[in-house]
Structure 1
Amino acid sequence: MNILLWHVHGSWTTAFVHGPHRYLLPVTPDRGPDGLGRARTWDWPESAVEVTPEQLRETDVDVVVLQRPHEAALAREWLGRDVPAIYLEHNAPGTDGTGTGGVPETRHPMADAGLPIVHVTHFNRLFWDSGTSRTTVIEHGIVDPGHLYTGTIERAAVVVNDPVRRGRWTGTDLLPGLADVVPLDVFGMRAEQLSLENVRTFDLPQSELHDAMAARRCYVHPIRWTSLGLSLLEAMHLGVPVVALATTEVVRAVPPGAGVISTDPAELAVAARRYLDDPDLAAAHGAAARQAALDRYGLKRFLDDWDALLTEVAA
């Protein structure tokens, strides 16, 4: 099956292109948002191929996976014909600036559009108003990086891109209070814009990030409002114990014994400090986190769920 999709979300797409199909990724000369092509910082199989808009006119496409509202018109323009489509919604309402109304009444931009909407979490499907559109949930899948946890660095890892610009969305305002209790290493694009006591910042390539996360004693996820941070699921796969705000889908993703979740940041700080002080407990909870992530967010289940839907829509 030939599947057209844009390179929008690198971590999610990394899992998706590990399926059994041929994945067509538009590329433009400027490699702008509508033509990024293949990832440069993730390891993608050869079945993920770059195609220009001109080539798409002569290419057989079985299904289009749309991820942004304007892609529907773009697909019709570049393909020159109608092709069965699915709309994949990565975000919780409000996080990407689309939709109308306030949570929990946010109207999805593809509501009543006549094509299935796939949400990546049950929380997202619950909170978006999708009108009469058919909706389903295909939970995340992760390419297993392996049980890499060592916890040799007695600091807590945090992964967040643009922490200054995104502010309260990503819980950046909570970092000073957490850092008063545990030293933090913050990884992510433009993390260096942070200047906080007891906080170090790093902008590492994807190839180095997992080893760096696995070397920290625990992972702290201060995100207030997002779909479900893949960095949290990656930390769990690595075998890192997690400490996370109990918001959005986190309450479903982190079971008891795999870490600590709470809506009280002070409780999270205490939990992180306990992991730093008790490496045996950290390792045990990290192993439980890994097993929980493999059970719920394994790659095979993810790809099987997508194969079933793609086959149905393409038929």
Structure 2
Amino acid sequence: MSEFVKIVEVGPRDGLQNEKTPLTLEQRKDFILDLMQTGLKLIEVGSCVSAKWVPQMADSDVLFASLPQDPNIQFSLLTPNLKGFESALAVGCKEVAVFTAASESFTRKNINCSIDESFEKFADIMAVAKANDIKVRGYVSCMVDCPYEGAIDPQQVAKVCKRLLDMGCYEVSLGETIGTATPNRVKIVWDACLAELDSQVLAGHFHNTYGMAIANIYQSLNQNIRIFDSSIAGLGGCPYAKGASGNVATEDLYYLLSKMGFETGINLDALMHASQNISQVLKRNNPSNYANAYWQTQCA
């Protein structure tokens, strides 16, 4: 039996939040309805943040409430503070995500506080989440490099991950935020984390700025990481990291995993349908190598 790799689809949140074209609530809903047909079991719906700061994520709680519930699909919302968490709680969300970074400068730019202060904010969320039986996933940005500080000490990455897990996060996703990493550097970070933490609670979130995302995922697989975030059609990037192009495309991740013999649960036809639809809605080219090869083959 093939080993299963868990994919967290972040296109509706991390993807759309950095696209120049804001979608209507109905378009965002249609996008998620397409994703629900793909076999993806974990979909990040949006972010409960101020529409003033991230207009692409406006009314994410309303969007969440409008979606049909499927017992086989876990929807989640990003909640940067207690106010956002309460919005998620009010619409029945059973999984939220919190985020910090391994870089002090990035944390201040991204969420306007220090790393320690970000954990103080999380403490309130964790307490209410535990009382309401809500799962909390943690994000750690800048696992290798920071756009302001440069290289990050791998021990610092491991320290922040451990703090999130000790605080109550069930899983931590490490973000290669600006896409500058190469497999040798990714290996060092995973080595530092795996010296203290189980691979089953760690996820990789890779950006493809320099075309290294798939190579870095391959390295991660070799170190027994079996959870990855991806964004269909390579949507997104990071609004606080200049030049950080899209997340690794779910289509490319699917190709790597399926050809290596891993199970993903993905329905390829539905995945490509969703990929084509969102690319057309956004009027953008799909940067996925696999998607482009797939459609050329179909049209041949």
TM-score under structure 2 length normalisation: 0.30
RCO comparison, higher one (Cα < 8 Å, 6+): 2
The structure with more helix, counted as a fraction of residues = 2
TM-score under structure 1 length normalisation: 0.29
